[in-house]
């Protein structure tokens, strides 16, 4: 099954579990996609292998950045008319607080979708969506 076929199937069926076939590192990181309140949300089932600071039992910052980037890419590929895997041009991650080793969610919003470039904002949180642990602002190449 091609990338485009997987994306079309996920869009039509709203079965986002198939996205792991299109983005293999989602499975490697333990990421799944669910729909909550009409929006696509990534869920990281945090595990011991995600710990970056064993003394504080905090999630690795690179993992948090990867979750945010993946949320942005998933949101982009689920947009109508997107047929290719977006490529990051630049990404800025703001780390707001330490992430504990608990389930972590991320959501993204496409703020501009042009023919060649898209702008996306994403945020991830743990217990309270109003208190994100990190945010992302990114630009992606769409060709």
Select from 1.10.3680.10, 3.10.129.10, 3.40.50.2300, 3.40.50.880 the CATH code of 3-141.
3.10.129.10
pLDDT of residue 11: 82
What's the confidence (pLDDT) of residue 14?
80
pLDDT of residue 57: 81
CB 108 within 8 A of CB 71: yes
Residue 49, pLDDT score: 67
* 100 beta partners: 58
Q: Give the pLDDT confidence of 102-112 residue by residue, as tens digits.
A: 899 999 999 99
Question: What per-residue confidence (pLDDT) applies to 23?
Answer: 78
Nearest to 18 by CA among 10, 26, 8: 10
Q: Which residues contact 2 (CB under 8 A, 6 or more apart)?
A: none
Contacts of 140 (CB under 8 A, 6+ apart): 72, 73, 76, 86, 87, 88, 89, 117, 118, 120
Handedness of CA 32, 80, 73, 119 (dihedral sign): negative
Q: What is the structure's pLDDT at 12?
A: 83
CA 7 – CA 65 distance, rounded (Å)? 23
Write out residues in the chain with pLDDT < 50, as ranges: none
- Domain positions in the chain: 3-141
pLDDT of residue 125: 97
């Amino acid at each position: 099954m091609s990338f485009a076929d997987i994306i079309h199937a996920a869009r039509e069926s709203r079965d986002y579990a198939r996205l792991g076939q299109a983005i293999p590192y989602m499975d490697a990181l333990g990421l799944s996609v669910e729909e909550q309140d009409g929006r696509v949300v990534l869920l990281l089932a945090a595990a011991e292998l995600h710990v970056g600071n064993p003394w504080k039992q905090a999630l690795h910052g690179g993992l948090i950045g990867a979750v945010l980037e993946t949320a942005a890419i998933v949101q982009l590929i689920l947009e109508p008319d997107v047929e290719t895997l977006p490529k990051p041009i630049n990404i800025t991650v703001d780390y707001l607080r330490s992430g504990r080793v608990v389930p972590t969610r991320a959501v993204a919003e496409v703020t501009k979708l042009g023919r060649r470039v898209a702008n996306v904002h994403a945020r991830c949180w743990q217990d309270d969506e109003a208190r994100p642990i990190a945010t992302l602002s990114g630009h992606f190449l769409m060709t």
